[in-house]
Chains A and B, each alone.
Chain A
Amino acid sequence: MSKINLNESLKKLNDIVKWFEGQEEVDVEKGLVKVKEGAQLIKASRERLKEVENEFEEIKKDIVEEDDDKDTS
């Protein structure tokens, strides 16, 4: 899964919505380009937001301890 910046994607989506709102006279062709762009962003965001198993790892105590030794030595 390619890493996408969700924040950036949502901002772009918002911009597209605003673009539609701000346009006095919307060009259908340009509008379609924006819709296509929006659809890609939504797809990518969905991909990122769909259920992804969490990874869980326990840091062993001795590793914590060794790390601490490093800090103090």
Chain B
Amino acid sequence: MNIILLQKLKEWRREAAQKEGVDLFRILSNSTIENIVGLMPKTKEELLSIKGIKEKKWQKYGKEILAITGGDAADLEPAGSMDDKSEKPLSVSEYLDLLNKKLGECFARIQGEISSFDPRDNVIYFSLKDLADGSLIRCLMWRRDYQLCGVDFVIGDEVILEGTPNVFKPNGGLSFKASSVELVGEGALKKAYDALKARLEKEGIFAVERKRPIPEYPQKIGLITSRDGAVINDFLTNIGNFGFHIKLIDSRVEGQRAVPELLKSIKYFRNKDIDVLIIIRGGGSLESLLPFNNEALIREVINFPKPVICGIGHDKDIPLVAMACDVAVSTPTAVTKILNNSWERALSKTKICERDIINKYQSLLRDKKDRIRESADIIERNFAGIFTSFSEVSSALKEGFLKIGFYIKNAGNALMRIEKILEANNPERQLKLGYSIARLNGRIVSSIEKLSVGETLEIQLSDGLIASKVNSLKKRLYNE
């Protein structure tokens, strides 16, 4: 980027702004200047192709800009100077153009009394008279600007005008083109204030029903105030650290010239994503708070899509904007309290809920524990009998078992004895000793009486059987 050209343009803008008594951006915005440097326009067409430069800006500054960029106007510029006697004479029109260009630099703030008043469709014609010597200047004002100022001219009113003089080419008459007007004196201001207040009141502008609530947990804040001064510091010092996103537009807040700036600032926020709009300024007299009693501004505020909070200090008369907005307080700190409010409440609500839930669950557990203990008691009481009888039964059983054991032991001894007897009497043992067993037809023969000669006996020895026939029978006599 051509830095030298950029500096030249900025220097020129600074001078132009000074001459006109306006802010720099009203001459050209930074981005427009940067585009000019980038594009280096040399002709009217090229210059008009740049965003931010339309016919109006071309008329006003086009030639000067081209003179800086080295374009056409470098030659056009001195269309004649007042002390140039050698050149050919200027036409009347050319001269008036030159004059108007020079007059355009004579921005002034003048005070006088309205001595005539002729409102037309788009223009208000009037004249301003010097209170001391009766000098007179004819004036005009666009109706739009006039309405913006919210002043109703009455002949005899003392006013302060801001603007530049201009010669009207068709009749050569000089008029002061006022861009803003304000009433002079507390008395007149108070009268205007009261009249507007009464009218708006009648219209219901201040009605409580119209007020919109401030949303809970606001986060995106549009802020309009003057960057300088204690007000913005108070605001930023006292706003809680809840992650607010604050967008500030630095605006004039004093004097009639504040009105268009405030209006533009509010309009800027209209379609921006904000939760609430804040307008703050320090306290002041009716005169210094003039812009905040401006009807156009009041209407802009009440038609703003989001709630508007005003923190405007004041003496006796509450600024009408404050009366019309959704919430009005009189200090920036009070505004921050409103913004912090729901966040801080949420903090304490969370604490309360936490305490409540824990308490309730604990008491529930305590309750359950008590009931478990109670149940245990009941069980213990009711089953105590069972347990006692159980132990009786069990000792009886034990006793029984012992007895059984004793019996078993005894029985065992008896068996052993029997076994010995049986052992001693085992017939097989007798057989081994040489005894034998005689059987007839499978039955043991113990007497000869059941036998007859010729029958076959089975004789069992220890290791086998003998089949033997009875030859003779002879009864044994014990005395033999």
Contacts of A52 in B (CB 8 A): 241-243
Binding site for A on B (CB under 8 A): 23-26, 29-32, 52, 54, 216-217, 227, 236, 239, 241-250, 264-265, 267-268, 343, 346-347, 349-350, 353-354, 356-358, 360-361, 364-365, 368
**Complex interface: chain A residues within 8 A of B241 (CB):** 51-54
Q: Across the interface, do A68 and B246 meet the contact criterion of CB distance under 8 Å?
A: no
| A65 adjacent to B353 (CB under 8 Å) | no
| CA distance in complex: A62, B216 (Å) | 32
CB closest chain-B residue, reference A53: B241
A17, B357: Cβ atoms closer than 8 Å: yes
Q: Which residues of B contact A38 (CB under 8 A)?
A: 353-354, 357
Interface pair B360/A10, CB less than 8 Å apart = no
Decide: A55 and B245 in contact? CB cutoff 8 A. yes
The answer, among B244, B249, B358, B365, for a CB contact under 8 Å with A54, is B244
| Contacting pair B346 A54 (CB below 8 A) | no
**For the complex, what is the distance from the CA of A28 to the CA of B23, rounded to whole Å?**
70
Report whether A10 and B247 are in contact in the complex, using a CB–CB cutoff of 8 Å.
Answer: no
**In this complex, what residue of B is CB-closest to A73?**
B54
The 10 closest A-B pairs by CB, nearest first: A62-B29, A52-B243, A13-B353, A20-B360, A62-B25, A61-B25, A54-B244, A51-B241, A38-B357, A17-B356
Chain B residues whose CB sits within 8 angstroms of the CB of A26 once the complex forms:
364
Q: Which of A27-49 contact B (CB under 8 A)?
A: 28, 31-32, 34-35, 38-39, 42, 45-46, 49
Closest to B217 in A: A6
For A66, the chain B residues whose CB sits under 8 A away are 29, 31, 52
**Contact partners of A55 in chain B: CB under 8 A:** 243-246
A49 with B343: CB separation less than 8 A? yes
Q: Which residues of A contact B249 (CB under 8 A)?
A: 58-59, 61, 64
**Shortest Cβ distance from A35 into B: residue:** B361
**A13 partner residues in chain B, CB cutoff 8 A:** 349-350, 353-354, 357
Q: How far is the CB of B67 from chain A (nearest CB, A)?
A: 23
How many whole Å from A50's CB to the nearest CB in chain B? 9
Contact B26 A65 (CB under 8 A): yes
Complex Cα distance, B343 from A20, in Å, reads 26
The SS class assigned to the B binding surface is: helix
Contact B361 A61 (CB under 8 A): no
Q: List 28 A-B contacts (CB under 8 A).
A: A7-B217, A10-B350, A13-B349, A17-B353, A17-B360, A20-B356, A20-B361, A21-B360, A26-B364, A28-B368, A34-B361, A35-B361, A42-B354, A45-B346, A49-B343, A51-B242, A53-B243, A54-B245, A58-B247, A59-B268, A61-B23, A62-B29, A62-B32, A64-B268, A65-B25, A65-B29, A68-B267, A73-B54
List A residues at the B interface (Cβ < 8 Å): 6-7, 10, 13-14, 16-17, 20-21, 26, 28, 31-32, 34-35, 38-39, 42, 45-46, 49, 51-69, 71, 73
Query: Between A and B, how many residue pairs show CB distances below 8 Å?
Result: 125
Please tell me which one of the listed residues A31, A39, A49, A71 contacts residue B242 in the complex, with CB atoms under 8 A apart.
A49
Closest to B236 in A: A56
Contact A49 B346 (CB under 8 A): yes
| Shortest Cβ distance from B227 into A: residue | A58
Set of chain A residues within 8 Å of B23, measured between Cβ atoms: 61
Assembly CA distance A28 to B32 (angstroms): 70
Chain A, residue nearest B26 (CB): A65
Q: What residues of chain A lie closer than 8 Å to B267, measured between beta carbons?
A: 67-68, 71
CB B234 to nearest CB in A, in angstroms, measures 14
Which residues of the other chain, B, contact A64 by a CB distance below 8 angstroms?
A: 25, 249, 264-265, 268
Chain A residue at minimum C-beta to C-beta distance from B215:
A7
Residues of A within 8 A of B265 (CB): 64
Contact A42 to B248, CB < 8 A, known contacts A7-B217, A16-B357: no
In the complex formed, the residue of B with least CB distance to A27 is B364
* C-alpha spacing A17/B359, complex, angstroms: 10
Which residues on A sit within 8 Å (CB–CB) of B244?
54-55
A34:B357 contact, CB within 8 angstroms: yes
In the bound complex, CA of A6 to CA of B236 (Å) = 24
Given contacts A17-B357, A68-B268, A62 and B343 within 8 Å (CB-CB): no
- Report the bound CA distance from A69 to B243 in whole Å: 32
- Give the CA-CA distance A52 to B26 in the complex, in Å: 37
Q: How far is the CA of A49 from the CA of B356 in the complex (A)?
A: 19
In the complex formed, the residue of B with least CB distance to A60 is B30
Are A56 and B248 in contact, CB atoms less than 8 angstroms apart?
Answer: yes
Question: Quick check: A68 and B361 within 8 Å, CB to CB?
Answer: no
Q: Contacting A20 at CB < 8 Å: which of B250, B350, B357?
A: B357
Considering the chains assembled together, what is the distance between the CA atoms of A39 and B364 in angstroms? 17
Minimum CB distance partner of B246 in chain A: A56
